[in-house]
Chain A
Amino acid sequence: MSVNNTEMAVRYKNNFLKELEDQAEMGEWIKMCMQCGVCAGSCPTNFHPGWDHPPQEIFMMVRAGRREEVLTSNSMWMCTSCYNCYVRCPRKLPITHIMHGIANYAHRLGVAPKLQPTRNFGKIFWNNAAKTGRVNEVMLTVDLYFRNAEGKFDLMGGIKKALEMQSVAIGLVKAGRLNPLELFGGHKCKDQKGLQSMLKKARELEETRKALKAA
């Protein structure tokens, strides 16, 4: 269930920090940042050109009320969950979790960057894995490769990418880590019904909790 972006912006007027404290998981920790920059200095992706703002800067922007910029930023999505910042933060902020919390909130508001690769991959991976409880590696690769930058099906691009990666694929097949036959249906976990009802229940619980917060 998504929440309405405009509605939230109006409700919290110019207090974006308060909004995240209420709505984003672990958002209540943001105010405790003391701007030392250890997180930024510890981040392995720090020098990646696609990275807009390190965590320290994101937190400062939250305080400065730069709502749109934070929520549409790709920064939270660049996190590799290595937990370096989490471990090093002298104020013991769960930075990795805060980043995920903000990312998730942006996703729920529907303002997160559409084709941000991490987010895109996350979605494909989840849909794939949630189907049978096992990841179908071949279908995952197909879903990932045969799409262009706009997210449209792209046969030629897919073939090109697949050829580029063929030596890796052959290596995986030889090592027994990839079964080409999965193109026609993969393996599953045992209790398919149980899996689906478990996922349904989890979704229900999550939505009730978030609905309570958003109310």
Chain B
Amino acid sequence: MSATMAEKKHAAYICSGCELGARLDVATLVKTATKEGKMQLVREHAFLCSAEGVAMIQNDIDNEGVTHAAICACSRRAKTEAFNFSTTAISRGNLREGVIWVRPDTEEARETTQEMAEDYVRMACAEVKAMTVPSGNPNVGGSKTLLVVGGGVSGMTSALEAAKAGYKVVLVEKTGALGGWAAQNYKRVPTREPFKDPEDTGVADMVSRIAADANITVYLNATVTKTAGAPGRFKADITVESGSTVTEDVGAIIQASGFTLYDANKLPHLGYGASPDVVDQAGLEALAKAANGGAIKRPSDGKEVKSVVFVQCAGQRDASGEHLEYCSGYCCNVSVKQAMYFKDANPDVDTVVLYTDLRLPGNGEDFYRSAQNKGVIFSKGVVSTVAASGNGLTVNFKDLILNEDTQAQADLVVLATGSVPTSGPDLDALNAAVVASESKDADIKAEADLQVEKLRAKSVLNLSYRQGPDIPHFKHGFNDSHFICFPYETRRTAIYAAGPVRRPMDMVQAREDATGAAMKAIQAVENAGLGKAAHPRAGDLSFPTARLEGCTQCKRCTVECPFGAIDEDEKRFPLFNESRCRRCGTCMGACPVRVISFENYSVNTVGAQVKAINVPDEFENKPRILILACENDAYPALDMAGMNRHDYSAFVRVIPVRCLGSVNTIWITDALNSGFDGIMLMGCKHGEQYQCHFVKGSELGRYRLSKVGDTLKGMGLEPERVFDTEVAITDIVTLPQRINDYAAQLEAMGPSPMKGF
């Protein structure tokens, strides 16, 4: 509101609490804010975050017309509740964690510490003047219904949990019944004490609870044939078997499309296909269901099974690249369970599990012990072949403990083949096929068309996003998700992946996953309804806008946006889809003509801070190092270094950025031009084990910034003047050391030749 007011009034507040007054010359800071920061109103307070201090600021806002306030006290991460003035643009000068806590309290350090504080006051003043109060995304979404795609254990759990929280759910299942793989099981791995025996799958109970829940609408034999729109206002076309289509308005989507078993036909050396008595785990479940607690009979001749061998890691953990590279995680527990089917029906049945490593997540160790007690034999061995012999099967394996090739006889062999996600087409492959289908060569075109059709047929969501119809894959074809910190988050805002489509998992994990995804989806629809950002800047009201008259239609922003939030309008200008936007600012960093900005974060808000820093001339022997630190990991790490009183160089000036991806190269050139000796870029780990909160942000930022070498060369500067370093939030001790090492390196290089120009 005040942002729209014509009259702007800038104020600075300088706190002298927390020893700031003792360590710094606050009177000079007041002068700096007034003279250099050009603040119309500057106040000093001994305890600014106290009720009295906050009331003083509020009074200035209410009665003195203050619209912009630079609060120079502690880190922007501290006292956020006290300094929360929603109608006022606020910047924070970090004098505590950023200055006095990282500097020694000695007489010789006093001068440089004071200079540091003065710069942070200048920066806070410059930043706030370039800011406006964000007004929120006007394109709010109204729908609070969740769409759950997939009616297995994950999907049913999401639906039930969301319904329990009071939200409407549309549940789409492609087969004729709910339950997924779990419904095909005879029993499941135990979920409660004492974890000794297989237990009921619980599927029937879930199905009946769903049927009885008025909040849940179920579509069976149905697929999602089109998903358009944005968080809070998706339109999902649901096509049922008869061909008729219903369009549902939904606010968020949970993709719980599950998995299929790895095709055992690809394992002929293990006897699959050659003998009907070699089955996969689903095949054994079917036999156990038919036996219903009685003796399990083998498929070939109906003879009661007297000996069974379970082959673990069949087509899994394969280093040759022919089969699955990964471990599916649940199959060991399943084999333990299936061996118990035999032992529980008849203790005299020989059951042997051949494994290389038994991996039993959850309470599987207890279950394993119980199986050993029941007489299931576990042998460490690698199976080479399974062959028919006489009236049974011979399993040839290498005993890894006794280090010898040996064999076992069995009536039945069960292969633990693992899971393959139903995660839709690989978007990179699809894009490549689409490009190839534009070929002039008729043969190439025909083949590519076929490929496009084949890949499109695999789509789960059929999103009408320019980035492709589904969530991107990450590793081994599983849907991308932020596997470390926010497991269900995908790169498509308000679309969450849950269950084995995200990574291999068992039913217990899938239920947890599905519950988490439901909670995230609820958060997303609520934030979308208020025009606020979703995770990780949840609640942020700012959104990107572009000054289109300056746009060159280079498409860098549309391509780089990690979340597919930028489309093109009919004139090929970027069209922001604010609801999909996660506010990382990667578009802003990418824009070569710098026309993209947020109300509270822009090329100017950071650029003005860079320019506000006082750079001493080369004779003063006081280098200046600019640190652009990711606000998610690097900045908190620096704050924590301060809290732990780990000193670092007085010559650094830190500016937090939303993501390394939002760093615009103009800041680098500006800083170097104004005589900075070096620039440190601190972003999250990227690549396969990425920790970037915006998934691709730090990677894109790094790629872009790797090109500044040319700029440096053009300016006659050494490439070491820009230093990129990966920072994790835990680098509290090592980060100050890295800063000091870099400062020493710069000192050895001598001052930047750009000083004084």
Seen from chain A, the residues whose Cβ lies within 8 Å of a Cβ on chain B are 17, 31-32, 34-35, 56-57, 60-61, 63-64, 91
Q: How far is A35 from B353 in the complex, measured between Cα atoms in Å?
A: 13
Q: Of the candidates A60, A61, A91, which one forms a contact with B369 in the assembled complex, judged by CB atoms under 8 Å apart?
A: A91
Q: Are B402 and A57 in contact (CB under 8 A)?
A: yes
Interface of A is mostly: helix
Q: Is A31 in contact with B377, judged by CB distance below 8 angstroms?
A: yes
Structural contact, B401 and A57, CB atoms closer than 8 A:
yes
Chain B residues with Cβ below 8 Å from A63 are 377, 379
Interface string of B355-395 (1 = CB under 8 A from A): 00010000000001100110101111000000000000000
Q: Are B372 and A35 in contact (CB under 8 A)?
A: no
Assuming the contacts A32-B372, A34-B368, A56-B401, asked whether A64 and B380 have C-beta atoms less than 8 A apart, the reply is no
Indicate if the CB atoms of B402 and A34 lie closer than 8 Å.
no
B724 is an interface residue with CB less than 8 A from chain A: no
Q: Which residues of B contact A56 (CB under 8 A)?
A: 401
Check B380–A35 contact: CB distance below 8 A.
Answer: yes
The 5 nearest A-B residue pairs measured at CB: A60-B401, A32-B372, A35-B380, A31-B372, A63-B377
Measured between C-beta atoms, what is the minimum distance from A62 to chain B in Å? 10
Q: In which size bucket is the chain B interface?
A: 10 to 19
With A35-B401, A57-B402 given, can you name 14 additional A-B contacts, CB distance below 8 Å?
A17-B377, A31-B375, A31-B377, A34-B368, A34-B372, A34-B378, A56-B401, A57-B401, A60-B379, A60-B380, A60-B399, A60-B401, A61-B402, A63-B379
A–B complex contacts, Cβ < 8 Å, 6 sampled: A31-B373, A32-B369, A34-B368, A34-B372, A34-B378, A35-B378
| Separation of A32 and B378 alpha carbons in the complex (Å) | 9
User: Knowing A34-B358, A35-B380, A91-B369 touch, does A64 contact B402 (C-beta < 8 A)?
Assistant: yes
Q: List chain B residues, Cβ under 8 A from A32.
A: 369, 372-373
B292 at the interface (CB under 8 A from A): no
| Residue picked from B368, B373, B402, B406, most chain A C-beta under 10 Å | B402
Q: A209–B134 Cα gap in the complex (Å)? A: 87
Q: Tell me the minimal C-beta distance from A14 to chain B in angstroms.
A: 10
Q: How far is the CB of B360 from chain A (nearest CB, A)?
A: 10
A195 CA to B369 CA in the complex, in Å? 44
Chain B contacts of A17 at CB under 8 A? 377
> In the complex, what distance in Å separates the CA atom of A80 from the CA atom of B538?
64
Closest-CB distance, A143 to chain B (whole angstroms): 38
When the two chains form their complex, are residues A64 and B369 in contact, meaning their CB atoms are under 8 A apart?
A: no
Q: Using Cβ atoms and an 8 Å threshold, which residues of chain A touch B358? A: 34
User: What's the Cα separation between A60 and B401 when bound, in Å?
Assistant: 7
Closest B residue, CB atoms, query A91: B369
How far apart sit A31 and B406, CA to CA, in the bound complex (Å)?
A: 20
Q: How far is the CA of A91 from the CA of B378 in the complex (A)?
A: 14
The digit string for B337-358, where 1 denotes a CB below 8 A from any CB of A, is 0000000000000000000001
Contacting pair B399 A64 (CB below 8 A): yes
| Closest-CB distance, A61 to chain B (whole angstroms) | 6
A59 closest partner in B (C-beta): B401
Q: Which residue of A lies closest to B379 (CB)?
A: A63
Least CB separation from A69: chain B residue:
B402
How far does the Cβ of A28 sit from chain B's closest Cβ, in whole Å? 10
User: In the complex, which residue of chain B has the Cβ closest to the Cβ of A28?
Assistant: B373
Min C-beta distance of A94 to chain B, whole Å? 15
Q: Are B406 and A64 in contact (CB under 8 A)?
A: yes
A34 to B370, CA, bound (A): 12
What sequence of 0s and 1s flags, for each residue 395-417 of chain B, a beta carbon within 8 Å of any chain A beta carbon?
Answer: 00001011000100000000000
Given the complex, which residues of A lie within 8 Å of B379, measured CB to CB?
A: 60, 63-64
Report B196 CB to chain A, min CB distance, Å.
14
- Chain A contacts for B372, CB-based, 8 A: 31-32, 34
Contacting residues, chain B, for A57 (C-beta < 8 A):
401-402
CA distance in complex: A35, B313 (Å): 18
Closest residue of B by beta carbon distance from A37: B401
Question: Could you say which residues of chain A place their CB within 8 Å of the CB of B401?
Answer: 35, 56-57, 60
Closest Cβ neighbor of B404 among chain A residues: A64
B373 touches A60 (CB 8 A): no
- Minimum Cβ distance to chain A for residue B397 (Å): 11
Minimum Cβ distance to chain B for residue A67 (Å): 14
A17, A31, A56, A91 — most chain B CB neighbours (10 Å): A31
Nearest CB of chain B from residue A89's CB, rounded to whole Å: 13
Contacts of A64 in B (CB 8 A): 379, 399, 402, 406
Q: How far is the CA of A63 from the CA of B373 in the complex (A)?
A: 14
Nearest-Cβ distance from residue B344 to partner chain A, whole angstroms: 17
The answer for the CA separation of A61 and B401 in the assembled complex, in Å, is 9
A41 smallest CB distance to B (angstroms): 14
CB of B4, distance to nearest CB on chain A (Å):
68
B333 → A minimal CB distance (Å):
15
Bound-complex Cα distance A51 to B435 (A) = 67
CB distance from B352 to the nearest CB of A (A): 9
Q: Which residues of A contact B378 (CB under 8 A)?
A: 34-35
A124–chain B nearest beta-carbon distance, Å: 34
Measured CB to CB, the closest approach of chain A to B75, in angstroms, equals 46
Nearest chain-B residue to A15 (Cβ)? B350
With both chains docked as a complex, state the minimum distance between the C-beta of A53 and any C-beta of chain B, in angstroms.
9
